Amino acid sequence: MKFLTPQQVADMLQVDCDTIIAWLKQNKLPAVKIGDVWRIEEERLQNYLQQELDKNSIEEKYADYEDNVIPKKGRRGRKPTGKYDGLKEVLKNTKGKLINMTFAEVQDHMGDSLPQSAYRLRPWWANDYTHSQARAWLHSGWETRNVDLKNHKVTFERIKK
Tens digits of per-residue pLDDT, 71-88?
A: 444 444 444 458 899 999
Tens digits of per-residue pLDDT, 31-84?
A: 888 888 899 888 888 887 777 665 554 445 555 544 544 444 444 444 445 889
Give the containing element (helix H, strand E) for 116. helix 116-120
Average pLDDT value for residue range 135-142: 91
Q: What is the pLDDT of residue 80?
A: 42
CA 146/CA 131 separation, integer angstroms: 18
pLDDT at 8 over 80: yes
State the CB neighbour count (10 A cutoff) for residue 161. Answer: 4
Q: What is the pLDDT of residue 52?
A: 67
CA 156/CA 101 separation, integer angstroms: 8
CA 111/CA 159 separation, integer angstroms: 25
Q: Which domains does the chain have, with CATH numbers?
A: 3-55 (1.10.1660), 85-158 (no CATH)
Residues across the chain: 161
CA 37/CA 32 separation, integer angstroms: 8
pLDDT at 20 over 70: yes
CA 136/CA 82 separation, integer angstroms: 9
Give 10 or 136, the one with higher predicted confidence: 136
